[in-house]
Structure 1
Amino acid sequence: MILIPLAEILHAEAGARFPGIQGVIFGFAIVCVILLAPEGLFWKLRDLLRRRIAPKAAASDAPESSAANVTTLKPAPRQRAVTGEVMLEVKSLSRSFGGLKAVQDVSFKLHKNEILGIIGPNGAGKTTLFNLLNGFLKPSQGEVLIDGRNMSGQRPHVICEAGVGRTFQVMRPFLRMSILDNVVVGAYVRARSGEEARKLAADAVARVGLSAVAERVAGELSTKELRLMELARAIAGQPRILLLDETLAGLGHGEADEVVAVIQQLARDGMTIAIIEHTMQAMVRLVDRFLVLDHGAVITEGLPEVVTRDNRVIEAYLGKKWVGHAAN
């Protein structure tokens, strides 16, 4: 509707002096659209108009904002719950890709209501371990026990139905759908009707503090709101075990505190959580116990105050030359 007429006008007006000019402009316009509006000009213009027309007073008139909901929960010291019922047990789990051993003989237990932090340098095998736990990858050897049942090699939907939810490093929201509709997608693992799914989704949205903005379109959300929405989608299916993969990534210090408070509340409500994260300042306050991976293998595990002083952990993150400095 725009480019073809433009090309013809250029050809008629300037084609004689600048042969091929319409092709150059045409190509430049296509590149600009791809870079600036990959979903199409219609959606880009619609979003711009919506932001300008939407009444700014709506947010201030709302009875409570998402930030207000979340910040009423302050990060608090955890009670170190490292004993009790074993919800998830990993036994000698390994995964190789050709000659690369991404996960090597990993074993650990996750106890009820515990928050376990899984840390390690980039390439340590953390996300690969999660992919083995929720069925995206099949192990080369070893077992994954959920409530004592061996779920090794089961497909992701089977493990999800067994009570394991997950978020991912890279957020994949449905940008043209509202927060509530995005979360409804995760509720269908438990719901048997659309009405039940929306009820479960509304509860999940409330638990992460987004009720006041539940009808906002995902494409208009901040990074923090998107992270909370992804968390709500994961808990909408009512999992008993939650795997969180870098849920604090891309957040400022204050925003990370708000999300940490939500995760802590989920644990207090009975959720068992394993979290991969690089934000150590938040992790030390959040988790009950650390499991440290390096080159796919467990190098240590234990309480945060012990693990963060372990020379093997310091060496894995910073190199051997820093071990002596840390000791001093």
Structure 2
Amino acid sequence: MMMKTGSKSLLYFIVPALAYLALSAFVTNSYYQLMLTLILIWAIFGLSWNILSGYTGLISFGHAAFFGAGAFATVLAQIYWSITPWVMFFASGAIGAVLGVAIGFPTFRLRGHYFALSMLAYPLAFMYVFLWLGFPEVSVPRVHDNPAAYMQFSDGRVYTLIAMAFLIVVVLLSRKIESSRFGMALIAIKQNEAAAEAAGIDSLRWKLRAIAVSGAIAAMAGSLYAVVILVITPQSVFGMLVSAQALTVAMFGGIGTFWGPIIGAGFLIPIAEILHAELGSILPGIQGVVYGVAIVVLITLAPEGMFWKVRDWMGSARKKAASETHPETQPMDEVAVEPRKFTPAADGADIVLDVRGMSKNFGGLKAVQDVSFQVRRGMILGIIGPNGAGKTTLFNLLNGFQTPTSGQVFVNGKDMARSKPHVLCRAGVGRTFQIMRPFTRMSVRDNVRTGAYVRAGSEAEAAEVADDALRQVGLSAIADRLAGELTTKELRLMELARALAGKPHTLLLDETLAGLGRDEAAEVVAVIRRLSASGVTVAIIEHTMQAMVQLVDRFLVLDHGQVIMEGAPEEVTKNPHVIEAYLGKKWSAHAED
């Protein structure tokens, strides 16, 4: 299905591309021919920005750093060493990739607007460095003997053809990224980085790869731009307007898809260039005005871009029809509801999770205090306590989202207390969240497939594992629906399937029954019992005590970050300290009835 959709989208691109080349063949005016080439170059530059910012959600205000580096490298290499732009076009890509990693490694430590503002500093620094070095303006040397060897042509249509070939390659690359493990990882990071890490995605590694690819394409676009324009200045290739053009064409057309920058460049660049030619002498900076107006219109009418606005509008009718007739989740196989009979190994050889002296302080607040417990293979451990008792903080410590102040977490005998979430996922610890974290723009199947990548060696294996996980939770019938269209119960099951796709030996479930009705909660409980029966170990935080006493083998009770009791359900629910701290007198009266 995905391959067929991808082939269709590429066909929709190739046909207009051929029509574009046919149009350029009949354009003889040098200015309009130049504009046709610039539209393609800015579309490529926008696609480079999209590979980083569109897919990861980390907005870059500094892509001019890569663009300008490629432009200056190409021109200066010809001036000082007579190296042809044909060579420097590819060398610029290597420069851009290295520069991307060098910039990304320290900068990815920042988030949100801090990342965006820090990226802005790099092209500004380069601009002043080149001015200080004495390059206020540089020109491509004209070559009279065999000019084609130096990418110099008297017919501007050749540049349009080269730019179109480059654009086609970048579009194919973007489409490959979108439909591969690479793109799935980036989109997952964008939509919820914590959930992506919990699913086994090493976010730093994938973001570094993204900025390397993005920087390479941007630098190659800058290299071609310099050859076409012939004269460059630090302001013209490192200036804020350059980064703004990449950002604006991508955001206007629609980020997170290869169509976005193409639509944005095709619409905005001609308007900006024509206004600059006609009114530039009267209104300097008219191009910036065009981009500013485009952003205002975009924020008002289509915050995610024109592509997504049109797509959502066209799909609204289909979504309405689907909501009226969409299939229910498949019924589970019958699961026994008799009381569980869990028997631990006498020698402790079945201990999969061993927590010793775990503590976490936030300044003077002791959120978790000297917590110790063991979870045995096949056990369902219920972690209960009043709000603020430290339950989710404890899960975050076990799952690597927070670093303990002190203590150890042994996973199958290895201390992993300070490991990253994706490392713990690879070690066999899966996780769901109290607040659901779906990748809403992905289908249900792709959400789950993202979790399968942590162990799957190929796309086919990942798809097979994802389908099996969906079958286990009963979501096979709605696998192709967008996650953003699901009910609360379906989202809970989907997140459970995504965790299962990583083939964990231990699942940490944080309030999996929250927001569910009585019958829905019973269905999810049945799924958890089925997973436990298959050998998966479960630790679950939950407030729905009626379900928990039928589900778990043992309870761990927390209050103010401390363990106040651990034991079998019948012992814990009758303990006066637990009743006073958490269950309350109503529970005691209900239990007696």
C-alpha distance in 2 between matches for 1:280 and 1:72: 23
Equivalent of 2:570 in 305, 310, 315: 305
Tell me whether 1:77 sits opposite 2:339 in the alignment: yes
Q: Hey, what does 1:155 align to over in structure 2?
A: 420
- Corresponding residue number in structure 1 for 2:355: 90
Q: After the TM superposition, which residues 253-268 of structure 1 pair with which residues of structure 2 at under 5 Å, given as runs?
A: 253-268=518-533
C-alpha change, 1:33 and 1:293, in structure 2 (3 Å) is: farther
Residue 249 of structure 1, aligned match among 492, 497, 514: 514
In structure 1, the partner of 2:367 is 102
Equivalence for 2:329: 66
Among 468, 476, 489, the residue aligned to 1:203: 468
State the match for 1:50 in structure 2: 318
Whether the 8 Å CA contact 2:579–2:588 is kept in 1: the answer is no
Equivalent of 1:129 in 394, 403, 406: 394
What SS does the corresponding residue of 2:366 show, helix, strand or coil?
A: strand
CA distance 1:229–1:58, change in 2 (3 Å): closer
Cα deviation, 1:119-177, whole Å, max 9, x if unaligned, reads 00000000000111111111111110011111111111111111100000111112222
CA separation of 1:223 and 1:288: change in aligned 2, threshold 3 A: same
SS at match of 1:180: helix
Say whether residues 1:231 and 2:496 are aligned partners. yes
2:196 is aligned to none
Structure 2 letter corresponding to 1:51: K
* 78-87 or 291-300: bigger deviation: 78-87
Deviation, 1:52, is: 3.5
Q: How far apart, CA to CA, are the structure 2 residues paired with 1:192 and 1:217?
A: 25
Aligned CA RMSD, in angstroms, stands at 2.8
DSSP 3-state at the match of 2:400? coil
Are residues 212 and 300 of structure 1, via their aligned partners in 2, closer, same or farther at CA, if it must alter by over 3 Å?
same
Shift in Å, 1:188: 0.8
1:74 touches 1:258 (CA, 8 Å); kept in 2? no
- Distance across 1 between alignment mates of 2:313 and 2:429: 40
Q: Partners in 2 of 1:32 and 1:78 — Cα distance?
A: 56
Distance in 2 separating the partners of 1:327 and 1:191: 47
AA partner of residue 391 (structure 2): K
Q: Which residue of 2 aligns with 1:21?
A: none
- Tell me if structure 1 keeps the 8 A contact 2:469–2:500: yes
Q: Give the Cα separation in 2 of the matches to 1:201 and 1:257.
A: 24
For residues 501 and 526 of structure 2, what CA distance do their matches in structure 1 show? Answer: 18
Instruction: Give the aligned partner of residue 403 of structure 2.
Output: 138
How far has the Cα of 1:86 moved from its partner? 0.5
Q: Which has the larger radius of gyration?
A: 2
Q: After superposition, where does 1:260-279 map in structure 2 within 5 Å?
A: 260-279=525-544
Which deviations, in whole Å up to 9, do the C-alpha atoms of 1:84-136 show, x marking residues without a partner?
Answer: 51010000110100000000000000001000000000000000001111111
Per the normalisation by structure 2, the TM-score is 0.46
The alpha-carbon distance between structure 1 residues 288 and 51, as it changes in their structure 2 partners (threshold 3 A), is same
Give the SS at the match of 2:383: strand
Name the amino acid aligned to 1:118.
I
| Aligned residue identity for 2:572 | V
Asked if structure 2 preserves the Cα contact closer than 8 Å seen for 1:314 and 1:322, the reply is: no
Equivalenced residue count is: 290
Distance 1:252 1:53, change over 3 A: closer
Larger relative contact order (C-alpha < 8 A, sep ≥ 6)? 1
**3-state SS of 2:352 partner:** strand
Return the letter of the residue paired with 2:335.
Answer: L
CA contact (8 A) 1:117 1:291 kept: yes
Q: Percent identity over the alignment?
A: 58
- Pairwise CA distance, 1:285: 0.5
Q: Distance in 1 between matches of 2:493 and 2:320?
A: 25
Deviation at 1:216, TM superposition (A): 1.5
Return closer, same or farther for 1:234/1:33 CA change in 2, 3 Å cut-off: same
Question: Quick one: distance in 2 between partners of 1:207 and 1:230?
Answer: 12
Matched-pair contact (CA < 8 Å) for 1:89–1:145: yes
Deviation at 1:200, TM superposition (A): 0.8
Q: Give, in angstroms, the shift of residue 54 of structure 1.
A: 4.4
Task: Work out the CA distance in 1 between the residues paired with 2:492 and 2:587.
Answer: 35
TM-score of the pair, normalised by structure 1: 0.81
Contact 2:557–2:578 under 8 Å retained in 1: yes
* Higher helix proportion: 2
Deviation for aligned residue 1:51: 2.8
How is 1:109-120 mapped onto 2 (pairs within 5 angstroms)? 109-120=374-385
- Structure 2 distance, partners of 1:88, 1:116, is 11
Whether contact under 8 Å (1:223, 1:250) holds in the other structure is yes
Task: State whether residues 75 and 260 of structure 1, in contact with CA within 8 Å, keep that contact through their aligned partners in structure 2.
Answer: no
| Cα displacement (A) at 1:305 | 0.9
Q: Which SS does the other structure have where 2:361 is aligned?
A: strand
| Structure 1 residue runs of 4 or more that deviate by more than 4 Å after TM superposition | 30-34, 39-44, 53-58, 321-328
Q: Which has the higher strand share?
A: 1
Unpaired segments ≥5 residues, structure 2: 1-251, 253-298
